[in-house]
Amino acid sequence: MPSITTGELNLLKDFLYRTAGIDLGEGKEYLVSARLNEVCRTLQISSISNLIGQLHRGKKAVSVAVLEAMTTNETSFFRDAGPFGAITTDILPDLIEKNRSKKQLNIWCAACSTGQEPYSLAMTIRDRFPELNNWRVKILATDIAEGKVLEKARAGTYTQLEVSRGLPAPLLIKYFKQKGRDWEISQDIRDMVTFKKVNLLEIPAFLGTFDLLLCRNVLIYFDNPTKQRILGSLQKHLCPQGYLILGGSELLLGLNQKLQRYSVGGATCYRHEGAA
């Protein structure tokens, strides 16, 4: 497999840090080459050198594809039992109690990739919380990668392999329809989720505030100053009584003084000081 030179890698690192705040770190050459070769194939570019050259000259299609390739992360339906268990047994019941008078619930999946996380939340709400049927429930799902990633998320169509990972069969037959070799999520579930491109370094102020905010397995890609900056923005978009859920291995450790760590239903979440 054609590999990447040190000079090209440095240009790529610079691009990722400037546009997305991503700190690629050391020792990722193999992964980088594999992902960039895939982009070369898709865009019919003859080599990684050519690709990096076009990226350097600011060619839009190339920068979108490279950003997408380098930020598309592992995802699956109901990924990690801990947070989804806590959302079902503790967090949503608490938010329902607190928001009962306004009958409104706002949720944000801040790095939704191909959509499995927000759709898992939508199915949980439909399946386990029928009292929310007459509430205004908004699930905003955002990702920095536009193009193929958000297109797939919006389409809500998944392969057999994708639905075989994490999605319980009773939910599969209730909320999906088999289409040839793929599975398409129901219109009702799709309508519960709005997908948007959002760069976590430039979160628009008009996005609003959220009762539940998931930003899982994203901060690991940033250096500490960038993590601090992102957490500061996320915290501003978290309702006073809201819950922020990060990835299992992501700890704040002094990166944000206004958010406090709580153990809820066996999962770790962060809330404004004094929210509990």
Which residue, 170 or 274, has its beta carbon nearer to other proteins? 170
Candidates 31, 173, 251, 276; binder of other proteins (CB under 8 A) is 173
Q: Is 170 in the site for other proteins (CB under 8 A)?
A: yes
Give the torsion through C-alpha atoms of 39, 40, 45, 46, to 10 deg. Answer: 170
Lookup: tokens for 127: 């399946």
CB of 110 to other proteins, least distance (A): 24
Q: Is 50 in the site for other proteins (CB under 8 A)?
A: no
Which residue, 82 or 232, has its beta carbon nearer to other proteins? 82
Annotated active-site residue in 79, 126, 143, 271:
143
Q: Is 168 in the site for other proteins (CB under 8 A)?
A: yes
Lookup: tokens for 258: 């206004």
- 181 catalytic? Reply is no
Q: Side-chain half-sphere of 208: how many Cα atoms within 13 Å?
A: 11
CB of 135 to other proteins, least distance (A): 26
Which residue, 67 or 267, has its beta carbon nearer to other proteins? 267
Candidates 165, 196, 229, 272; binder of other proteins (CB under 8 A) is 165
- 35 catalytic? Reply is yes
Candidates 85, 93, 147, 232; binder of other proteins (CB under 8 A) is 85
Q: Is 187 in the site for other proteins (CB under 8 A)?
A: no
Q: Is 159 in the site for other proteins (CB under 8 A)?
A: no
Candidates 53, 82, 147, 232; binder of other proteins (CB under 8 A) is 82
Here's the x/- map for other proteins, 240-269, by CB under 8 A: it reads as: --------------------------x---
Decide if 32 contacts 70 (C-beta within 8 A).
yes
Decide if 215 contacts 246 (C-beta within 8 A).
yes
Q: How many residues bind other proteins (CB under 8 A)?
A: 17
Candidates 81, 151, 187, 258; binder of other proteins (CB under 8 A) is 81
CB of 173 to other proteins, least distance (A): 5
Q: Is 47 in the site for other proteins (CB under 8 A)?
A: no
Q: Is 276 in the site for other proteins (CB under 8 A)?
A: no
Alpha-carbon distance values, 260 to 145, 208, 243, 251, 264 (Å):
30, 21, 10, 11, 12
Q: Which residues make up the interface to other proteins (CB under 8 A)?
A: 78, 81-82, 85, 160, 164-166, 168-170, 172-173, 176-178, 266
Give catalytic residues, as residue numbers: 35, 143
